[in-house]
Amino acid sequence: DELPPALIRQFAATGLIHILSVSGSHMALLFAALQVIGRRLGWPQRVRFIFLVGIVCTYGALSEFAAPVVRSLIMGLISAYGVVLKRRYMGCQALGIAIAGMLLYNPFMVFDLSFRLSCGASAGILLWYSKFQFILQRFPSFLRESLALCASAQILVMPLVLASFQALPVYSFIANLLVAPVLDLVILLGLGSVITGSIWTPLGDIFLYPLQWLLTWAIQGNACLAAFPYSRYWHGALSVTTAAAWYIAAGAVFLKKRQGYIAAGLSSVVWVSGQMVAWLTAPAITVYSFDFGRDSAVCAVTADNRVRLWYNKENFSSREDISYTVIPALQYEGIFALDACTVSGKDTKNTARQLAPYLTAGKVRQCFGRPPGCTVFSGRQPYYLSWGRKEDRFPAGACVEVFKADKTEFFTMPEGVCAWIVHCPYKGREACAAWKQAAAYKGVYCFAPATDGRVRMTYVRNRWLWETYKGARE
């Protein structure tokens, strides 16, 4: 948390951000270092195992037993105990035991992103590392091992990474080849400095002198790679059919030659079918309505990929909400550039400044108070956006979205509206429930992002289709 945001972005761009947190790679280094120390001191296997258990469990406690640390801790202890018993270590079985034990202790851990990424990357290495090494057997050993490790660690978690971070590091292999080994050495020197410094401070300082130079070189080298053009491949979350096609193709390598070709063909059919369905059902316009607490945001994407955003900033909301909520939500939907943007409410200047890197045309309009409404889409059923001004005149048969739906406004709900999307920044769920009750009395659809989550509206074949996290409704 205390690291500079620019440094975090640089490590994210090169795919080495996991090194900044206590992860499985740290535990692996610690296991290896302790095994070497115990072997050098000539300790018996059982004594070495007891020493290792004490140190790594203490290290895990210091890291608050984060999910990747616990997973690595269990697998490492199984491996070390296998050496004591002279049993063969099976990585897949050890990973299965670790996952089963963690989920039995806390079933809700399945929703922990770090747990899924750690287990997915470990499973990818265990399953695909030897496959990639065989494919790359003509390469030199150090290149072959680095390439195989990078590719196998990403193959299972790639759809999850795109859904969570919307970007893939392009220069990850180069960073793992040049920067990661230096950082591994930095971690070992840091551990050595802590251990020796606790005994005698000047002895710990001996480790710090080379560590400073190595750390500076690693950070500068990583920053250089992150500054290269196209250091990250940006992409929204994969569709269900694309993710399914990816996993079918990934699993084809475990089949025999004929079955593998069949699986590869099936993967292509699934992907092409998904693309064809998406093309045939492409809407004239898609409107996203997001729930960001007191703030409100609406994004419209036309068939020719023109994107416009309306954002209303309220009092008593964080100044950084647009960076931490709006931009990731748009990127999840595959939106990385805006053609136009309207910012209303409070602190519009700072809000527009945070959006500036994501605007292509630079058309930013700042409005104060409640600006007049506007027609987002003109069609058989128009889409009208209102800031809660009672003098607005809605088009007949329109789908109307209200940024500020005060509790008293539903008493004057006009006729001829096909659907309402309401944001209630002050009255909250109580006002949303009142709007829905009034709309149901008149037989009109009504959605509230505060209670329904993100609402996605598509205009297909001259009618609106509404989709929420609770299911699709018309």
Phi and psi based region of residue 301 (left: phi greater than 0; alpha: psi -120 to 50; beta: remaining) = beta
Question: Which candidate, 140, 135, 184, places its Cα nearest to that of 155?
Answer: 135
Res 275: pLDDT: 92
Looking at residue 362, what is its pLDDT?
60
The answer to whether 311 touches 296, Cβ cutoff 8 Å, is yes
pLDDT in tens, 322-335: 777 888 888 888 88
Tell me the three state secondary structure of residue 43: coil
Q: How many CB atoms lie within 10 A of CB 224?
A: 14
Is the pLDDT assigned to residue 410 strictly greater than 80?
no
Highest mean pLDDT among 136-145, 214-223, 338-347 belongs to 214-223
Task: Output the pLDDT for position 46.
Answer: 84
Is residue 79 over pLDDT 60?
A: yes
pLDDT band at 107 (very low <50, low <70, confident <90, very high): very high
pLDDT of residue 416: 74
Who's near 127: CB < 8 A, 6+ residues apart?
A: 92, 152, 156, 254
pLDDT at 444: 84
* pLDDT the model gives residue 474: 58
Looking at residues 439-444, what average pLDDT do you find?
A: 83
**Contact status, residue 398 vs residue 414, Cβ threshold 8 Å:** no
Q: How confident is the model at residue 156 (pLDDT cuts 50, 70, 90)?
A: very high
* 267: pLDDT strictly greater than 90: yes
What proportion of the chain, given as a percentage, has pLDDT over 70? Answer: 94
Instruction: Quote the CA–CA distance of 334 and 219 in Å, as a whole number.
Output: 30
Examine the pLDDT at 136 and tell me if it is beyond 80: yes
Percent of the chain with pLDDT over 90: 15
pLDDT in tens, 34-52: 888 888 888 888 888 888 8
Residue keyed to tokens 């069949």 = 262
Q: What is the mean pLDDT of residues 153-175?
A: 90
| pLDDT score of 437 more than 90 | no
> Residue 360: what pLDDT?
60
Whose tokens are 């105990």? That residue is 81
CA distance between the termini of the chain: 44
Per-residue pLDDT tens digits for 224-256: 999 988 888 888 899 999 999 999 999 888 888
Predicted confidence at residue 317, as pLDDT, reads 67
SS3 assignment, position 345: strand
Whole-number pLDDT of residue 406: 67
State how far Cα 213 lies from the chain centre.
33
Cβ contact 424:431 at 8 Å: yes
pLDDT of the residue at 361: 52
* Confidence category of residue 123, pLDDT binned at 50, 70, 90: very high
| Chain segment 336-375, per-residue pLDDT in tens | 888 888 888 777 888 888 877 766 656 777 777 677 788 8
Strand partners, 302: 285
Q: What is the pLDDT of residue 470?
A: 65
- Only one residue has tokens 């269900």, namely 240
Q: Which residue has the tokens 């494919």?
A: 135
At residue 276, the pLDDT reads 93
